[in-house]
Structure 1
Amino acid sequence: MTHLLDGQTALVTGASGGIGRAIARRLAEEGAAVALHCRTAVTAAHETAAAIGDRATVVQGDLSDEQTCHRIVREAAAWGGGRLTALVNNAAVQPVQPLPGMTAADWRTVVDTNLTSVFACTQAAAELMRTQPDGGTITHIASIEATHPAPGHAHYSASKAAVVMHARAAALEYGPSGIRVNTVSPGLIDREGLEEAWPEGVRRWQEAVPTGRLGSPEDVANAVVFLASPLASWITGHNLVVDGGVSARPTW
């Protein structure tokens, strides 16, 4: 039985959390060998790798450091026999903090994790992919907040808007080397305890979204699999919105 990603080696950053874990699992289900990155949640990453089996490994490091980004890409490629065909830039932080009173240090913490790491990991992966006959794919996980900001998320929304534009710029410059770069922008994705922690927000979302539900990590993972697969061989520089249609709702 053939799979969409047979023969591929992928690196997923931030793979110990809900969305990252689902992405790693779906990539593996479609035939890819997967390196799961984590920063501090080592146990969770190893548990996911163990569930996948011998086609998974764990790499660890703080992606706010440029050299660490390059190191984990090298480690993932070395584990994959010298090849890396897919990178998924998923690692991110999403603190809630009002813009008045936000310090430059607060801003940099979010931007370095959400954006600078994307730049550094992409650059490192592309340098390797451009030497491969079949190139590779790079997928950034952005957010619908890239175009629809939320209160308390100025740094997060700005970082995700920049991630979308980075993908378009990278698609332009790396395309001649056979590298496709896209983004996936999720809407509100369900997680354990979300409804209890934010009942009003969940209620408003469910009333607004045309499909009538929150997203699941698997919804995002399926989009990533598609973009990394031959089915998307002529898609690059695209922002694939996965939000149940909520962005289509009128705002007036």
Structure 2
Amino acid sequence: MTEPTRPGGRRTGMRNFRVLGAAALLAFVAGCGSSGDSDASGSASSPEVSNAVCPHATGSPDFQLDLDGDGTPDDVAQVPASGGCPAVLEAHVGDDTLQAELDGDLPVTSFAAVRFTGRDGDVLLTTQAHPRGGSQTRLFGYDARTFAELLADGKPVFDFVATDAPTEHVSAACTADGFAVTEAVAHQPAGVVPAWDVYRTPYAVAGNDVTAGARTEVDDNVLESQLPSKYPDVVKGAMFENCRAGVN
């Protein structure tokens, strides 16, 4: 006996089969895609993530100062950039080994200790010199078991100063409530005879945070020939010479 045709039933059964088959295929593809994305993400990120431990300072320290104010010297050394690790200054304070990143690729060529009024520990003054002329001055301090650069509004206190074609002279000195930076800036518009405008900015220091006060003009249109006699420290680029600290 011939089975009666039931088109509706056959189409429904076939549709269900097709829907189920498509769903299974989509689930399989989605599963593969998810697994593939995870693998791809892992393999893509793995070259960027280094498991290497960044190097520490070896040998003798570059400088000693009393960072925490306990009366004993603390070692500081610079560690050059290596592989994916940036150049850093490494400080050994008590049982702590702390690193502060050195911005830029210039080596530190000089170290000094500065003692601000009301601060227990010394502040590290560094100079990074450019071989073709110019330098960058930075300040580093220890506070709350952290060794870091002193920043004003998230930026270094001092800009890079070029010496090959100077358009600015800068000096800094400690004050009763922090320190002050004095700048001689080339007068604009330039006249027949070079001249300079002189500005001063006070700074307050709290831990490793620095807050700038109002920048004021203290002299205007100072002739080039008069600047060394009126502002010798500025022309010389003197940095905190009135509050350098010795190792106790």
Higher relative contact order (CA closer than 8 Å, sequence separation 6+): 1
**Which of the pair is proportionally richer in helix?**
1
TM-score range for the pair, normalised by the shorter chain length:
under 0.3
TM-score (norm: length of structure 2): 0.24
Higher strand share: 2
Task: State which structure, 1 or 2, has the greater radius of gyration over its C-alpha atoms.
Answer: 2
TM-score (norm 1): 0.24
